[in-house]
Amino acid sequence: MPRKRERTTSRGTSDSTMKTAALLCLDEHMSEQSVATNLNICHVSLNRYIKKFKLHRETDSSLPSVGYRPHSKVFNDIHEKRLVDYIKNSADMYFGLSPKEVRKLAFEFAVKLELKKLSISIRRPEATSLLRAMDFNKVNVKHFMDKYQSVLLKYKFEGQDIYNLDETGIITVQKTEIVVAACGKKQVGAITSAERGTSVTMCLAVNAIGNCIPPMFVFPRVNYKDYFVRGGPPGCVGVANKSGWMQGNEFLEFMKHFAKHVKPSVDKNVLVLLDNHKSHLYMPVIDFCREVGIVLLSFPPHCSHKLHPLDRSVYGPFKKYINQISAATPRNIINGFSVSGIRPFNINVFTEDEFAPSVVTDMVINTTTEELVNTTTKEISVESINPVIIDQQLSQNLSYEISPEHVKPYPKAALQDKIKNKGGRRKGKSAILTDKPKL
């Protein structure tokens, strides 16, 4: 039960009283001390109010307010009473609402009332590497979308033929959930299989209509045992290597597992969208996919957080609700393909604000800039202009042109001649991996 705060002072004066006192001082030329004594208000507060009132008269600004006010409310008193009555009646009917249901009801009630929605909020940002911010740009996305569109037109793929494949790491000991315990108790325990778990790689493939094939697990063991996947998802398989990460041989086993369930053929191809991981570029894998009718299309590097359907809508809920079977659902899978612009195909699915991080590292080619400058210099001749007139016009409109960007410009990376990749390797890009190279 929340405590009810009791007032210890009688501070606070109404707006009308302060306005009357200010008019007596300014128009009737009465002293502030005498007016404050007669109206039983604080002379210091009156002095501050008079200064604001003078500014209000000179600049025609809003009338200053005084006194204590509650925090901004979403609902007015009438709507708040209706909401409280509804909650009480539900409890009286033995169908009381949980705190989460009350919050959901309040939100739906506010939407129904068409209350004003703020455009900004306080959020904790998600850690994003510099390479992701740089490489997710319009050029890379357009290059991938063009490749994807050409594959769709060539093979006439439908929703059930478009698959997305990716790996993720999971821990054998899951994070405990929040529980309700006695107030003031500092240590609360929960029984788990162990205190620290082992990282296991899971590989999963889903298609655009919401179906998924049984996953494959890569265990950090030298020899694989069948009991490793005991109690796992129906039909799942497992392999083992020393690192527990996906490698070329293990990925070949998964593609065989994939072909067993999907049953592609040269006459009925299927499309698999995947990233540029080293194991995915394993030559035996590409040869196997060509033989059985699997078309491999890779995403641009460092763009999985926007283009990967599994990353967008499946793996997040999977790691949150791993103790419950509520992640790889058809609804989540279909939403992942939709927000990525893959199914239904939408080349303009990403808005300008989603490309904003790449603007920081956008660079202008020096040769093109110099050519433009030289061309402009030759074609345009500027007549002499009176500088005094320009200064007068600028001084008149200066207050209207100043923006926060003038005070603190947007961040911009320093111009570099060349950005080196780790190990000096050539930068990857989206490609149709199963296409035969042109001679």
Which domain does 47 fall in, by range?
A: 15-58
pTM for this entry: 0.60
Give the residue with greater pLDDT, 116 vs 254: 254
Which pLDDT does position 394 carry in this prediction? 47
CATH of the domain at 250: 3.30.420.10
- Candidate from 133-137, 210-214, 281-285, 413-417 with smallest mean pLDDT: 413-417
Q: Does any domain span residue 366?
A: no
Residue 132: pLDDT above 50?
yes
Residues 217 and 103 in one domain: no
Burial class, 268, CB count within 10 angstroms (exposed 0-12 / middle 13-18 / buried 19+): exposed
Helices (H), 295-365: 304-307, 309-313, 315-320, 330-339, 356-359
Residues 269 and 322 in one domain: yes
Rounded (10°) CA dihedral 161, 167, 171, 176:
-50
Average pLDDT, integer, range 390-416: 54
Which pLDDT does position 417 carry in this prediction? 47
- CA separation for the pair 66, 21 (Å, rounded): 13
Which pLDDT does position 373 carry in this prediction? 41
Structure tokens that stand for 37 in this block = 């004594």
Residue 297: pLDDT above 90?
yes
Residues 158 and 298 in one domain: yes
Give the residue with greater pLDDT, 331 vs 199: 199
Which pLDDT does position 137 carry in this prediction? 86
Q: Does any domain span residue 343?
A: yes
Q: Does any domain span residue 411?
A: no
Residues 94 and 167 in one domain: no
Reported as a pLDDT band with limits 50, 70 and 90, residue 425 is low
Question: Of the residues 298, 321, 351, which one is the last residue of a structural domain?
Answer: 351
Task: For residue 275, give the nearest of 246, 297, 256, 255 by alpha carbon.
Answer: 297
Q: How far is CA 88 from CA 76, 81, 84, 91, 155, in A?
A: 18, 10, 6, 5, 60
Residues 236 and 100 in one domain: no
Give the residue with greater pLDDT, 370 vs 189: 189
Residues 166 and 273 in one domain: yes
Residue 264: phi and psi, rounded to 5, are -75, 170
Residues 102 and 250 in one domain: no
Q: Does any domain span residue 133?
A: no
Give the residue with greater pLDDT, 332 vs 253: 253
Residues 250 and 330 in one domain: yes
Residues 327 and 258 in one domain: yes
Residues 170 and 96 in one domain: no
Q: Does any domain span residue 144?
A: no
362 phi-psi bin (left φ>0, alpha ψ -120 to 50, beta other): beta
**Domain count for the chain:** 3
State in Å, rounded, how far the first CA of the chain is from the last one: 78
- CA separation for the pair 363, 413 (Å, rounded): 8
Residues 257 and 311 in one domain: yes
Reported as a pLDDT band with limits 50, 70 and 90, residue 2 is very low
Residues 165 and 104 in one domain: no
- CA separation for the pair 236, 230 (Å, rounded): 9
List pLDDT tens digits, range 23-63.
999 988 899 999 999 988 888 988 988 998 888 888 877 77
Count of residues for the chain? 439
Q: Does any domain span residue 265?
A: yes
